Structure 1
Amino acid sequence: MLLALTAVSGCALLSEDADDPAQYDARWDTSTADPVIKPAAASGLGYRPDSRDLQNPPAQPAIYQYQDPLRTGFYADQTHKSLHEYADQLAMGLMDKAAQVSTARIGVASFVRLNASLQETTVLGNQLAEYLMAELQEYGLSVVDFKVNSQVQVTARGDLAFSRSSKDATMTMDHVVTGTMVETPRGVRVNARIIALDTGQLIAASTIQLPAFMVTSLNQTASAD
């Protein structure tokens, strides 16, 4: 009998020294409309405010007048999309409406600023034309390069096949791809078209918006060269 009492007493001592598991159990808080689980205080997961909670947020000036979104709105400064991908998008829009030019010879001219003369091009206008030549050729079009000389010029600077002289342009074509560029505060709107040279008929048209920072980066690269 004495031995049994000693065993019971020992169990009581062990239970008093052990931590109470209930103090670590999370419980449902049903005091609000949407019950949430609140961690127990001893778990270390509860929120404890510090000095940062006593700091007031910085005051924002009140806006009492209309703000033009084109001038005060969000401006991106980088993108994962390259100019070549914009040219691909432009070519896709053209080919979606120009199935009848698949067998015609087609040339690609520089894009020009939309002004009174329609004779001013830019780095962007020339690069878009170069990219479009490759993109349209991938769509199966018979693309011709009218800047190629009839003969290769061998010079001290290298062997040259291209020329900007009109008298050296010997290629003939049925259609031409060209377009205009409209410069805006947010970038450049490019309007491309495929035109039949014999009739002036508009075969297809497409448009894209290029962000301003991409155009600016092209200009910086050209200045460095």
Structure 2
Amino acid sequence: MSLHLLLPSLLVLTVSGSAMGASSRVDINPLEIKVDTKLHSAHHKQLSDYTQQLALKLSDSMTSQYVSHIAVASFVDFDHTLHHTNPLGNQLAQELLGDLQRFGYSTVEHKLTPYIKVNQGGDFVLSRDSKALAKNIGIDHILTGTLVYRQNGVVVHARVVGTHDQVVKASARQFIPYFVISELVSNG
């Protein structure tokens, strides 16, 4: 049995010289990845194993610097806009928030609203609506990153950046194989 994932392929950039009619075009073509689902029973790796390694690499870089109050943003596709994410990008942010806290860093939940919305569906305090979010949450640093799709996995480039000076305080890279990501997609 195979599972098909539809993920963006490498960025293709075509630029014509300005003397020849100056045109530029950026295409992102979908890349179909076949993942053998029989591998799932043969491995015990989870996304959290890779995010813990990534958090450890970041932590090693940050030990020589004072870093506090870190918010974690969704990881985005490395394309021309840097505005596209997916379940992997959101799950990386979620996992890394907890991983950094376990390493002793003060993490900030920037999606917190200043109220609890209660209805028949549950009690809610998180939102992606910027108008509903709490103000003045005191973020000093942001952990963010990009996703680069390769033939057999995704390369995650992560960095912790100071919000006041845009200085990169730590950076790290982690490769995550598609068979681990397919577990994430198949489990919702």
**When the two structures are superposed, what TM-score results if normalisation uses the length of structure 1?**
0.62
Relative to total residues, which structure has the larger helix share, 1 or 2?
1
One-letter amino acid matched to 1:220: S
Q: Do the aligned residues in 2 keep the contact of 1:180 with 1:192 (CA within 8 Å)? A: yes
Residues 37-61 of structure 1 show CA distances to partners (whole Å, capped at 9, x for unaligned) of: xxxxxxxxxxxxxxxxxxxxxxxxx
Distance 1:152 1:216 in 2: 34
**When the two structures are superposed, what TM-score results if normalisation uses the length of structure 2?**
0.74
Query: Structure 2 matches for 1:123-142, cutoff 5 A?
Result: 123-142=87-106
The structure showing larger relative contact order (alpha-carbon pairs under 8 Å, at least 6 residues apart) is 2
Unaligned runs of at least 5 residues, structure 1: 1-75
Q: 1:198 aligns with which of 138, 158, 164?
A: 164
Please identify the structure whose Cα radius of gyration is greater.
1
Unaligned runs of at least 5 residues, structure 2: 1-37
Corresponding residue for residue 186 of structure 2: 220
Distance 1:113 1:163 in 2: 22
CA RMSD of aligned residues (A): 1.6
Shift of 1:80: 1.8
Q: Do the aligned residues in 2 keep the contact of 1:101 with 1:141 (CA within 8 Å)? A: no
Q: Do the aligned residues in 2 keep the contact of 1:192 with 1:205 (CA within 8 Å)? A: yes
Relative to total residues, which structure has the larger strand share, 1 or 2?
2
What is the number of equivalent residue pairs in this alignment? 147
Corresponding residue for residue 66 of structure 2: 101
The runs of at least 4 consecutive aligned structure 1 residues that moved more than 6 Å come to: none
Corresponding residue for residue 208 of structure 1: 174
Shift of 1:90: 0.4
**Identical-residue share of aligned pairs (%):** 36
Query: Structure 2 matches for 1:73-222, cutoff 5 A?
Result: 77-78=39-40, 79-99=43-63, 100-102=65-67, 104-170=68-134, 171-222=137-188
